[in-house]
Each structure stands twice: as structure tokens, then as C-alpha cells.
Amino acid sequence: MRSIVRSSVRVFRLRIYRLAGLLLPLCLGNAWSADSMIIWPSDWEVEALPQADTSVQIRQRAVKHDASGDPAMVVELTQTRLQPGHEVNVQGVLLEMRKAIQLNFVHSGFQSVCTQMKASTLSDVPAMETTCTITQNGAHVMTQTLVAAANKELAWSLSYAGSKDGYAANKDEVLRIRDSLRLNVSP
């Protein structure tokens, strides 16, 4: 029985990390600027993600593995340059991100409950965030935090997700990474 549970959790992790990578740019697009910077600790595996089209510059994801070599936490940041005059409804974007992720969890046989969206910041940019607890058959298997932010020129989405234990073990480190993020917010 334990081996079945472990196998299903591993398959779940792989699906979730792929899903997170597909859904994060859903609402905000996929551009990245050299003006954004994440300082990754040396034990994180950083990857440049494939560019979906010619407007994509860079999207960045990093994975921290547990002692078994399985992904314990995944962090992804996406930056999009906005069209002049376009204003982003950050709360609306975050709501759409949350809905898309929750629907995909349901289709994969999982349930999710998210906290009420709250005001936050990403670097010095006003943001909204929510954290979702993902369960399967009543058991907590994963936690994911979604953050959306925008100014007049740029929009960002940040997600960090991990298994129940991986999220708990790495949350403080991810918050330090998030706090070290510097975005070019000047016009």
C-alpha cells in the first residue's frame, strides 16, 4: 500500500510541476527582462524555459530537490512587457490563475482550497497573492502560492509549489529568494 501511495505522489508531483509551468504564463504572457533578477542559492537547479513565440525573451524556473532527488519545491517567475496604456487588473489576473490551476487539479483527481487573496508586494511592486492546499482523498499532498503584480510597463507572476513536506521545509528559503528579487520598476 505504501509503495502505491509513494508512486502516486511521485506521478502527482511530476504532473503538478509540469502543470505549474504551463499555467503560470497563462494570464500574464512569457516575456522576461534583464532588469529582473533572482539570486538563486547554489543548491537550486535553474533552467531557462523554452520560448513559446518570438515575443518571449526569458522565463525562469528553479527546482530544489530533496535527499531522494525528487523535486521538493519549484519556483517560477514570469515577466511580461505591457502594451502602452494597458492597465492590468492584478486581482482579476490572480483570480484567473487560481481558477485555472484549481480546474486542472480537479481534472487530475485532486481537490484544492485556496486562501482569500490578499494584498502583498513583489519586490517594491504592489501585488496580490493566494496559497492553495491541494489534497487527494482528504490527504494534504501539495501547497502552492501564486503571486501577481504589475506596474504601468511590466507584469509579473510568481509561483512556488512543493509537496506537503517540501513546501514546509523550503518555505523560508523561498521567502528569502522572493525578498531578494529586484525588479526594475522605474519608467
Q: Domain extents for the chain?
A: 2-180
| Residue whose C-alpha cell reads 486562501 in the numeric block | 115
If one counts every other C-beta atom within 10 angstroms of the C-beta of residue 109, the result is: 11
pTM of the model: 0.77
Which segments within the chain are labelled E, that is strand?
45-48, 60-65, 71-81, 111-114, 118-122, 125-136, 139-150, 154-163
Domain 2-180 part of CATH 3.40.1000.10: yes
Find which of 56-60, 63-67, 75-79 is predicted with most confidence, using mean pLDDT.
Answer: 63-67
Measured between alpha carbons, how far is 89 from 77 in angstroms, rounded to an integer? 18
Q: What number of residues does the chain have?
A: 187
DSSP string over 35-72: T-B----TTSEEEEPPPSSTT----EEEEEE-TTSSEE
Q: In this model, does residue 74 exceed pLDDT 50?
A: yes
Distance CA 109, CA 31 (A): 32
Q: What are the tens digits of pLDDT across the range 171-187?
A: 999 999 999 888 764 44
Q: Which among 176, 179, 145, 155 is positioned nearest to 59, based on CA atoms?
A: 155
User: pLDDT tens-digit profile of 77-135?
Assistant: 888 888 888 888 999 999 999 999 999 999 999 999 999 999 999 988 999 999 999 99
